[in-house]
Amino acid sequence: MFSREIYIQRREELINKVKSGIILMPGNDEVPMNYAANPYYFRQDSTFLYYFGLDLPGLSGVIDVDENNCILFGDDPGLDDIIWMGPQESLTDQAAEVGIENVSPSGNLENVLNKAIKDDRTVHFLPPYREEQTAKYASTLHIKGELVLKKASANLTKAVIEQRSVKIDEEIKEIEKAHAIAYEMHTTAMRMAKAGIYERDIAGAIEGIALAAGGYVAFPVILSRHGEILHNHHHSNLLRDGDMVINDSGAENFMHYASDITRTFPVSGKFTIQQREIYEIVLKAQKETINSIKPGEKNKDIHLKAATIITDGLKDLGLMRGDTSEAVKKGAHALFFPHGLGHMMGLDVHDMENLGEDLVGYDKEVKRSDQFGLAYLRLGKKLQPGYVLTIEPGIYFIPELIRTWQKEKKFEEYIDYGRLGDYIEFGGIRIEDDIVVTEDGHRIIGKPIPKSIEEVEEICQESV
Ligand code: GLY
Ligand code: MN
Ligand code: MN
């Protein structure tokens, strides 16, 4: 965990922003997989981690804004817990490490909340994203389950987003550690990708790297010869010479900071000419958009720059035609690039998505578009120093989408459907890196992972 001063300062800043009432901030609980004693991997709530730092189930934090006071509710392990799970530091000692002096048994939480409700004080809480949380808010705050989301505090949500969006140096260091794990995951995958092995051989090995590093994967591994399926979590295909593999994966380090990297590479260790041509366009879009990152730039404009580079590149290959800026404005390129250029990253891989994508990625100045493709852009607003974001353009040939648009004769003035027959089994290419916005520009996080055609072919020809 970070130093106690960091947690104290974060809670103080939150108190200053929220101004009045009390804040209820529960951590996560264990979730049973098939019976209670057989739980899923425990993942603490990211906002609880941010303000309270403790990575244990069964805790709740209360911040009394009016009294400038914090209480941690939770129970010390009993003898039974110690017999089955081993000895643990007392909750009071653990709380002291994050600067909290008041620890109270979990059974007292309801009394404190009842008193606050009786005194007509506002109890702020964040929108829940697990059914168990909704049920807990409903029972402890005496509100109907279906009203919980509605009653979540807009004021608290806004304050948390403001704070968590800007990463301090200590957080960037943790993200760098998560990136170092992703470096191993990605270079291992490139070396392993040989004809005759299954996708799951690689997916399992790289997930093992994340676990062996003391953390977990930041999201389910996307590893497939079907790169055109944007978030494909199935790993059952056999790899063959001539295939490309897309590997979109990252790790959470021990502190739960994420990395999120995508590389696309040839199974045979050699791209075909057709693959190289598309790869070069995606790589150009990725590098040039990264170069545009600086404070004050709107990420929506950077996304549109990627769309422009992709459209120009596809025009050079004869797959698109007509006026580039018109095609991009109307969204014709989204046949090939149907997703957003990137998202915020931090304690969550899509940082704070549970608090509301529009609240994290948009503001009064930049509104989310409803156009196909651009609508999926998670981060559109102006960038600020301390933001960490991904840049992940791609070009995909999605047979169902191509056939649908072709039948509708959609954007025929910009798309040469006649030429797409040669690409129908192409798959897709995406390249993704993690970037921190600095005072005067940006920095790509971590040791560079092979990305140019030459670097990628070289490492794919090595063996593990
Ligand atoms: N890992 C999913 C994404 O790139 O956003
Ligand atoms: Mn990714
Ligand atoms: Mn991503």
pLDDT in tens, 22-56: 999 999 999 999 999 999 999 999 999 999 999 99
Closest ligand, as measured to the CA of 230: 1
With bands split at pLDDT 50, 70 and 90, how would you rate the model's confidence at 231?
Answer: confident
Pseudo-torsion of CA 404, 371, 130, 247, nearest 10°? 60
Domain with CATH 3.40.350.10 in the chain: 4-165
Distance of CA 411 to the CA centre of its chain: 32
Average pLDDT on 214-241 reads 95
Domain with CATH 3.90.230.10 in the chain: 169-460
* Percent of the chain predicted with pLDDT > 70: 100
State the distance from the centre of ligand 1 to the C-alpha of 248, rounded, in angstroms. 7
Quick check: 362 and 372 in contact, CB under 8 A? no
DSSP H helical segments within 362-451, as ranges?
399-407
The interaxial angle of helices 4-18 and 154-165, nearest 10 deg, is 140
Q: Which amino acid is at 134?
A: T
CA distance 318 to 421: 13
Average pLDDT on 104-116 reads 96
Digit-coded pLDDT (tens) for 120-142:
999 999 999 999 999 999 999 99
Average pLDDT on 438-452 reads 98
Smallest CA-to-CA distance from 14 within 73, 74, 61 is with: 61
State the distance from the centre of ligand 2 to the C-alpha of 210, rounded, in angstroms. 15
State the distance from the centre of ligand 2 to the C-alpha of 393, rounded, in angstroms. 10
Digit-coded pLDDT (tens) for 335-356:
999 999 999 999 999 999 999 9
- Ligand 1, residue 430: give the atom nearest the CA: 4
Residues 6+ apart with CB under 8 A from 349: 218, 219, 250, 252, 258, 260
pLDDT of residue 440: 97
Q: Which amino acid is at 224?
A: S
pTM above 0.85, yes or no: yes
pLDDT of residue 233: 82
Average pLDDT on 146-159 reads 97
CA distance 24 to 137: 9
- Ligand 1, residue 378: give the atom nearest the CA: 5
How are beta strands 102-104 and 69-73 bridged, if at all?
parallel
Ion ligand 3 contact residues with beta carbon within 5 A: 260, 390
State the distance from the centre of ligand 1 to the C-alpha of 101, rounded, in angstroms. 39
Closest ligand, as measured to the CA of 262: 2
Average pLDDT on 365-383 reads 98
Pocket of ligand 1 (CB under 6 A): 219, 248, 260, 343, 349, 392, 432
* Percent of the chain predicted with pLDDT > 90: 96
Average pLDDT on 100-105 reads 98
Average pLDDT on 306-320 reads 98
Computed over every residue of the chain, the mean pLDDT equals: 97
Average pLDDT on 230-254 reads 95
State the distance from the centre of ligand 1 to the C-alpha of 257, rounded, in angstroms. 15
- Indicate whether 85 pLDDT > 90: no
Which of 3.40.350.10, 3.40.50.970, 3.30.470.10, 3.40.50.720 is the CATH number of 4-165?
Answer: 3.40.350.10
- Ligand 1, residue 262: give the atom nearest the CA: 4
Indicate the top mutation candidate among 221, 230, 349 to test ligand 1's pocket, ranked by most ligand atoms within 8 A of CB.
349
- Ligand 1, residue 231: give the atom nearest the CA: 2
Tokens linked to 34: 């098939």
Beginning with the edge strand found earlier in the chain, give each strand of the sheet holding 441-444 in spatial order. Answer: 388-391, 433-438, 441-444
State the distance from the centre of ligand 1 to the C-alpha of 260, rounded, in angstroms. 6
pLDDT of residue 268: 83
pLDDT of residue 232: 83
CATH assignment of 169-460? 3.90.230.10
